[in-house]
Structure 1
């Protein structure tokens, strides 16, 4: 438990091949995986500058922890690309979820954290920010607003995983 951010809710992996990574996790029995190809962000900024990141993601839960796989498709500046360019692949961040995004964002900034990249998917209640906290690979901190539809989707993924019988392991979302 982080005194500032709360409970870790997600581990994010940056991968070069989303489909191959999903299949490796399925071999471990984790699923089902919900895949969103070519995410449309409302905006994406890297170190304060707009960046046209193109990416796909896959989400699944193992108990209360959500796993996120992220594949960036272009060379637009991002924390994901920084991670890959440093020779890493795998766990890149831990995420904390909040129903009061702006308050947590402001507390992080007041505590001296700087934004690595940030954006939104699906409107104001789909905001996210990654802070430049990496001291070892995998230690970037993300905060994510779950006060809107994203929170409902995350609950659905968790509940589906809890009763998953191994059928329909890959579910591609339009």
Structure 2
């Protein structure tokens, strides 16, 4: 792929009720187990050049190679997720490409004319950026760094999904500093 870096690795769904969404995905679609964090610790968060303190709940699970992310906004901080909900949408909001070469890939996309709208960090080497690419719901592009503990977490989630038997469908995020 010339513009992006490998395959789409994640589908991000913005939902109004993350607990109900995890139950639906687990019980109806057989996707799990879910790794759930009721308040993701996002640092250096920026939206359209301004800094904010978002409170988002996130749940992650894999269906084969693709990770599914469920996101619920818990406060009214400006974000692309809030914009999506305010436009009357729920469901698929973004697709993510994962990278271990974040700085280089970000520079390449910026040189191609992509404009960063929302960015932040989750733990060490867990930066992310969303680009102003929404032409219709679900087409926002995210570039997500997976070089450190966040990448190890994503590996754990995928490995656990491969032989999941339906038990223990919702699990707490492990501490990224221990991965």
Q: Show the counterpart of 1:74.
A: 75
Q: Per-residue CA shift, 1:52-101, capped at 9, x if unaligned?
A: 11111000000000000000111111000000000000000000000000
Name the counterpart of 2:154: 154
Q: Deviations over 1:139-171 (max 9, x none)?
A: 000000001010011011001000111111111
Q: What is the TM-score normalised by the length of structure 1?
A: 0.96
- Is 2:13 the partner of 1:13? yes
* CA-based RMSD: 0.9
Structure 1 unaligned runs (5+)? none
Asked if structure 2 preserves the Cα contact closer than 8 Å seen for 1:8 and 1:96, the reply is: yes
> What are the Cα deviations for residues 98-149 of structure 1, in whole angstroms up to 9, with x where unaligned?
00000010111110011110000113x1100000100010000000000101
SS in 1 for 2:144: strand
- Give the alignment's TM-score, normalised by structure 2: 0.94
Deviating 4+ runs (over 6 angstroms): none
Number of paired residues?
172
1:32 shift after superposition:
0.6
Give how far 1:43 is off: 1.6
3-state SS in 2 of match to 1:8 = coil
Aligned to 1:44: 45
User: Aligned partners of 1:74 and 1:167: how far apart in 2?
Assistant: 31
